[in-house]
Copies of this chain bind each other. A is one copy, B any other.
Amino acid sequence: MMESITAYLQTHRDEHMEELMAFLRIPSVSALPQHQPDMQRCAEWTAASLQKAGLEHIEIMPTNGHPVVYADWLHAPGKPTVLIYGHYDVQPAEPLELWETPPFEPIIRDNKLFGRGSTDDKGQLLLYVKVVEAFLKTQGTLPVNVKFCIEGEEEIASKHLPAFVEAHADLLKADSIVLSDTQMHGPGKPALMYGLRGLAGFEITIEGANSDLHSGLFGGAVQNPIHALTKLLSSFHDENGKVAVEGFYDRVIALSDKEREAFKLVEPDENKVRKDLNVRELYGEKGFSFYEQTTSRPTLEITSVSGGFQGEGIKPIIPNRASAKIACRLVAAQVPEEIMDGVEAHILAQSLPGVNITLDRQLRGNPFITPIDDPVMVAAAQAYEAAYGEWPVYTRSGGSIPIVEVLGRVLDAPVVLMGFGLPGENLHAPNEHFHLMNWDKGTETISRYWLNLGAMSTQYMKN
């Protein structure tokens, strides 16, 4: 079956490239109001492309921002349903003068397609559309049921998608979710990013006397809110770089030996990191590598601190308040609200006479993980291996892509991040491009992935 699909994709490759270039010519910059008509035009183009591929129930669905394009094909009874997430919006192209060819006039050079959105995410998204088309044209059917959810606000933090997913959870329900908006580890080196950190952000304010006080007349006899704050803040970590808040690590899923082993293939050279940052030494929780610390261990980082006179020179006062903002990066299965409960209990347990302390909870984002031995992950890895001749590496990121966690949690399905971009393809920068080797390998990988999923026992299917 793969042969006829591959043959179809090869035969129609020029036509598909023309289509992708048409997609790239629409300057669908979600961040800039002057591109509002382009956003609508791009949603319509996306819908038409899905229709041409043979998808059904195509709908441009309104949100409070840019619309979502939905489509499905649900004629594989007894087979799992895969939700494909992608986005049709792109980053602003500025600074224009740094582009070698205009950002919205796509061109192929050295088997690379240049243009804004080529790798992020129009090129990677269209892979799925063309795989649907190839299956339906050559087989008349798909090995799985598919649903597409394509948003227009990924580059502006997916502002309205969480509410959309909540509101349309029935429509979007699936057994697994896949998206291609991340990177491979290198040319010919596929990667499955299976974990992202979450976030708990809060502000601590400490207030003392009812006004700033003269440090000569009161210094030494009144609690200084900065003293109380620095004492409190310094209590958040122990001597080994661990967070000293009770229960902080309780829900952390320990790394398996297999994961730690897998990280050895991808982790950066710590000496190079140290030199790049120009620090004498790195510093973090003992017993973990740099890569483990930044991707798989939670942290509590004081991101800002403020108190007293902020101008030039020394104004000798005891300020009446001081504050700090803190961002905890969380890993599965920590819960932001629980972490902030723990911080609050930690604060209450400190002895800080003469001041009042308030905690203002501001940010919450759940961590994300799909275990690497989840059947859909194994199916994805096998597909990669068949297409690229290499088993993928497993990566985690220390940052957050909140929508990934929202999709997985609300739809209660594992999410597979199957990147086909390459490092150095300048996403968000001038001269963005997409290496077309990964167009060909990408369609093959996705085709094989769906065949693998279709052949799997249905025991893992939830819906």
Residues of A within 8 A of B (CB): 197, 199, 201-203, 208-210, 213-224, 226-227, 229-231, 233-235, 237, 277-285, 290, 293-294, 297-299, 301-310, 313-319, 322, 324-327, 329, 353-356, 362-363, 397-400
* 9 more A-B residue pairs beyond the given contacts A224-B301, A230-B305, with a C-beta to C-beta distance below 8 A: A201-B316, A220-B329, A221-B293, A222-B282, A223-B283, A227-B233, A283-B354, A304-B315, A305-B307
Q: List 15 A-B contacts (CB under 8 A).
A: A209-B279, A217-B399, A219-B301, A219-B327, A220-B301, A220-B329, A224-B301, A230-B302, A280-B353, A281-B353, A303-B315, A303-B318, A304-B307, A305-B306, A305-B322
Minimum distance in angstroms from A318 CB to a CB of chain B: 6
B310 close to A306 (CB less than 8 A): yes
Tell me the complex Cα distance, A363–B201, Å. Answer: 38
Q: Is the CB of A279 within 8 A of B322?
A: no
Return chain B residues, CB-CB under 8 Å to A399: 214, 216-217
Contacts of A325 in B (CB 8 A): 308-309, 314
Interface contact B297-A216, CB-CB below 8 Å: no
Residues A221 and B307 in contact, CB atoms below 8 Å apart:
no
Instruction: Label chain A's interface by main secondary structure.
Output: mixed
How far does the Cβ of A259 sit from chain B's closest Cβ, in whole Å? 16
The answer to whether B314 and A308 touch across the interface, beta carbons within 8 angstroms, is: no
Which 3 A-B residue pairs are closest in the complex by CB-CB distance? Answer: A304-B308, A216-B399, A220-B299
Q: Which residues of B lie under 8 Å from residue A363 when comparing CB positions?
A: 314
Q: Nearest Cβ in chain B — how far from A7, in angstroms?
A: 42
| Chain B proximity of A350: nearest CB distance (Å) | 11
- Which residues from B are CB-within-8-Å of A227? 233-234, 237, 301-302
**What's the least CB distance linking A58 to chain B, in Å?**
36
CB-based contact A221/B314 at 8 Å: no
Closest-CB distance, A262 to chain B (whole angstroms): 18
A223, B305: Cα distance in complex, Å: 16
Q: Which of A303, A313, A355 has the most CB of B within 10 A?
A: A303
Contact A197 B221 (CB under 8 A): no
For A293, give its contact among B220, B277, B279, B322 (CB under 8 Å): B220
State in angstroms the CA–CA spacing of A153 and B219 once bound together. 27
CB closest chain-B residue, reference A303: B308
Who on chain B is nearest to A296 by CB? Answer: B220
Taken together as a complex, chains A and B put the C-alpha atoms of A303 and B226 apart, in Å, by 8
The 8 Å CB contact of A314, one of B201, B285, B322, is: B201
Contact B280 A221 (CB under 8 A): no
Known: A217-B294, A224-B301, A234-B230. A362 touches B279 (CB 8 A): no
Whole-angstrom distance between the alpha carbons of A327 and B214 in the complex? 11
How far, in whole Å, are A186 and B346 apart by their CA atoms in the complex? 48
Q: If A216-B398, A217-B398, A290-B221 touch, does A303 touch B317 (CB 8 Å cutoff)? A: yes
Contact A208 B282 (CB under 8 A): no
Contact A216 B197, beta carbon cutoff 8 Å: yes
CB distance from A393 to the nearest CB of B (A): 18
In the complex, what residues of B have CB within 8 A of residue A213's CB? Answer: 277
A324 surroundings in chain B (CB, below 8 A): 226
A218 lies within 8 A of B319 (CB): no
Distance in angstroms between the alpha carbons of A220 and B210 in the assembled complex: 37
Q: By the criterion CB–CB under 8 Å, are A281 and B226 in contact? A: no
Provide the residues of chain B in CB contact with A298, threshold 8 Å.
220
Contacts of A354 in B (CB 8 A): 279-283
Task: Verify B234–A305 contact, CB threshold 8 A.
Answer: no
In the complex the two chains form, is B283's CB within 8 Å of A301's CB?
no
Known contacts A234-B230, A277-B213, A304-B315; A220 and B294 CB within 8 A of each other: yes
